[in-house]
Amino acid sequence: MSNVPELDAAGLPEELSAVDQLLHRGEANPRTRSGIMGVELLDSTPEWERFRARFDNASRKVLRLRQKVVMPTLPTAAPRWVVDPDFNVDFHVRRARVPEPGTLREVLDLAELALQSPMDISRPLWTATLVEGLADGRAATMLHLSHAVTDGVGSVEMFANIYDVERDPPPQGEAPLPIPQDLSPNDLMREGLNKLPRSIAGNLLGALGGAASVVGRVVRDPISATRGVVDYARSGARVMGPVSEPSPLLMRRSLTSRSEAIDIKFSDLHKASKAAGGSINDAYLAGLCGALRLYHQAKGIPVETVPMAVPVNLRADDDPAGGNRFAGVNLAAPVGVVDPATRIQKVRAQMMRKREERAIDMVGSIAPVLSFLPDSFLESVAGSIVGSDVQASNVPVYPGDTFITGAKILRHYGLGPLPGVAMMVVLVSRAGYVTITTRYDRASITDPELWARCMLVGFDEVLALGGDGRATPASFTVDVPESTSTSPNGSAPQ
């Protein structure tokens, strides 16, 4: 990648999209904070100076890692990404140590502290922390960035520069330093003021032209034009509207969260999905539904469906790594269905139907309007837009083995934000394994040990469709029993 600053069509630093602006503004509020994180388990501990240098070099190649957001003092212009003239790699690349012999549980708890803390929005919005002291000489990394920087799929491309495909590759050459950019909030405000008359005129002409075009279509074919507007509105209602009653168990929200994860062989989940005529994503969501069913039953509050939001990747092959390019679909997740094959088919039918909606990117369409709302309104608006108890993402990473400064990545766990939901679930497929990490609000999931068992059993139900594959507790997780079978009536393990 080039070290020339990213510019827009007018030769100016790149503007934030309306969606990225919303995510950036959300960083100030703990209930709308948008941090995403990848926790990687390494088979050895990298040498610190090499680790630091690798990220410094990556930040020279991928400009977004050196760019900060400049907000205008008054909203006369869109915020811009600019290369930070005060970039300090030692702020972004950090090291921590857990008491030996450390476990993944302690790493996940460290990750929670980072995700629950505000990012410094005056700097580039990412950090990379090397966690030392794990058992058997192992280590972990925590790659933390704001969702305003990119989405999960984009982050895979953005951080590709830090990895090798062999343990001891030839040394890398040092990339040149990017050209810093001095742009203050006042400068950006004045720039917007100077362009305001032209912007108003251009927007007015654009609006008049658009209105004339619409009127022309209505005059030529009023029935078709009206039907198109009505069809889009109906599609938007199906995309954004409620699909299921919320779960009584998952209603409460707080400011504390916890993460729990399991490991599955990719081949086992693949065989199970094919046995039921579904995809990896269908089997993943069906396993999650099974875990939710078992938890609700154990708590004495069985439910048939739970509202679940599933992001759909809209990123094209030639899109840059930065920025967010996804849409969300809402499912009535079939939690009450006991048979795992039937769950897979029900999930698949809903996903296929929702992907065909004309208004699938409705949030992107209304984001420019939402970006003008005061901060005090964003939290309530975000909650009403999400309208789900659970969000579930699927992020494919690298199919083969990868290394960072001599250490092999054994597992990769994805932790997402909780934008008004009770639980964020992230599937990461990497190097022959699937990891499924649930990050949940502790006011909604109040029994962590029970939930950990329900995850294992819920996914074992699905894996049994393809053979004898089993889900296992995430590597180094402590005090979580091995997976056991459910009782004949489908009740949760006690």
Question: Which two structure tokens, joined as six digits, stand for 189?
Answer: 């405000």
| pLDDT mean over 345-358 | 80
Q: Is residue 240 part of a domain?
A: no
**What's the mean pLDDT in 408-437?**
94
Shared domain check, 296 and 441: yes
Residue 215 belongs to a domain? no
If we measure between CA atoms, which residue out of 32, 87, 1 comes closest to residue 381? 32
Same domain? For 282 and 376 the reply is: yes
Question: Does position 484 have pLDDT exceeding 80, yes or no?
Answer: no
Same domain, 29 and 131: yes
Contact by Cβ (8 Å): 415, 391: no
Whether residue 156 is found in the same domain as residue 270: no
State which of 120, 151, 170 marks the end of a domain.
170
Task: Determine the average pLDDT of the residues in 180-193.
Answer: 85
User: Which of these three, 142, 170, 198, is where a domain ends?
Assistant: 170
Strands 433-441 and 423-430: antiparallel
Domain span holding position 432: 245-398+419-473
Residue 151: its pLDDT value, please?
A: 65
Residues 28, 135 within the same domain: yes
Note the Cα 217 to chain centre separation in Å.
40
> What's the domain count of the chain?
2
- CATH number of the domain bearing residue 264: 3.30.559.30
In terms of domains, do 164 and 252 share one?
no
Same domain, 151 and 297: no
Q: What is the pTM of this model?
A: 0.81
In a domain, 299, yes or no: yes
> Do 271 and 150 fall within a single domain?
no
Is the same domain home to 135 and 250? no
Domain check: are 165 and 27 in the same one?
A: yes
Of the two residues 372 and 480, the one the predictor is more confident about is: 372
Per-residue pLDDT band for 399 (boundaries 50, 70, 90) equals confident
Q: Does residue 494 lie within any of the structural domains?
A: no
> Which CATH number characterizes residue 122's domain?
3.30.559.10
Give the pLDDT confidence score for residue 20 in this predicted structure. 78
The b-or-e profile of 383-395 (16+ CB within 10 A means b, else e) is bebbbbbbbbbbb
Confidence of residue 374 (pLDDT cuts 50, 70, 90): low
Q: Which of 92, 144, 147, 296 is catalytic?
A: 147
Question: Angle at which helices 448-463 and 266-275 pack, to 10 degrees?
Answer: 60
| 147 has catalytic annotation | yes
Shortest CA distance to 388 belongs to which of 264, 251, 259, 273? 251
| Mean pLDDT estimate for the chain | 80
Domain-embedded: residue 115: yes
| 127, part of any domain | yes
Residue 197 forms part of a structural domain = no
Q: Is residue 492 one of the residues assigned to a domain?
A: no
